[in-house]
Amino acid sequence: MTDASHTDLPRPVNWQLGRIVDELKAARTDWRTQSGRPLELGIRELPARAAIREIIEQLIGALFPMRLGPVDLRKESEDFYVGHTLDRALDALLGQVRLELRYFARQRGETNGELALQEQATAIVQDFANALPGLRRLLDTDVLAAYQGDPAARSVDEVLLCYPGILAVIHHRLANHLYKAGLPLLARIGSEIAHSATGIDIHPGAEIGHSFFIDHGTGVVIGETAVIGDRVRIYQAVTLGAKRFEVDDSGQLVKGQPRHPIIEDDVVIYAGATILGRITIGKGSTIGGNVWVTRSVPEGSNITQATLQQHAPGNER
């Protein structure tokens, strides 16, 4: 008896890929023409998200080798691992920095030579490398703040290994340095990688003091021009956002204006609080859960839903 089961297999489908590929090429060409991008460039013009993710993982391993480095790392090879890993990470970062510098130079119509571009990129990456020991010490204050601020934490090692708020802050400290170095795209990619992993959205432009602790963390949003002092603690679903957006005469949003809150030292902001606009939350204040704050409050304030209702228009006596 002949086995004819092979004749029942489905035949390959003709997906008409030639036509689809041609149409996708036409769509890309239209976009590049409308955007004023050179059609003949022929090389990658933007940094790669996958490359940035790998660089950050390597940097985190070098910053905390025995806890966030490779599982088989031993103390006697710690320094070798750190040096080798930093060498790889910085070399890779140099290539990504060069891409961003070249991209924005083209956007501005500049024609800097490759040698000048390489020298500029090298100086930026060297400055970043020089900053890493200071960033490590700054992150130690964040880890300690998380341990001291959470009664459920059994050790600083648990905090570093497990807490999403710490992961988000590590990414932010690295991204903020890149942002201030004039690399907003690389910085934003780095912060959005943490956002995807933790649900915590910190714009790399936000300025954050030492000993910063985000507890639980999911849903936290911190805007670009927010300024946060030392020893600040915030909980999940807190928003430090803008109240309104200025527009120019043509109706386009004005970029870069200070529009997010200033949070002074030793402030605690509980879950669900929304603080909007360029207002100041005074030193040592406590902002209760689920409140909506759009006005500055003085030092030592204790803001709850009840106090906001008491001071609402029509309720004042």
What pTM did the predictor assign?
A: 0.88
Q: What is the pLDDT of residue 313?
A: 58
Report pLDDT for 302.
96
Domain with CATH 1.10.3130.10 in the chain: 44-200
Q: CATH 2.160.10.10 in the chain, residues?
A: 219-317
- Homologous superfamily, domain 44-200: serine acetyltransferase, domain 1 (1.10.3130.10)
User: How much is the pLDDT for 317?
Assistant: 45
Q: Name the one residue in this structure whose structure tokens are 């691992």.
A: 81
Statement: 219-317 belongs to CATH 2.160.10.10: yes
Per-residue pLDDT of the chain (317 residues; tens, 9 = 90+): 555 556 678 888 889 999 999 999 999 999 888 877 765 666 778 899 999 999 999 999 999 999 999 999 999 999 999 999 999 999 999 999 999 999 888 888 887 788 999 999 999 999 999 999 999 999 999 999 999 999 999 999 999 999 999 999 999 999 999 999 999 999 999 999 999 999 999 999 999 999 999 999 999 999 999 999 999 999 999 999 999 878 777 778 788 789 999 999 999 999 999 999 999 999 999 999 999 999 999 999 999 987 776 666 555 54
pLDDT (0 to 100) of residue 1: 52
Report pLDDT for 311.
Answer: 62
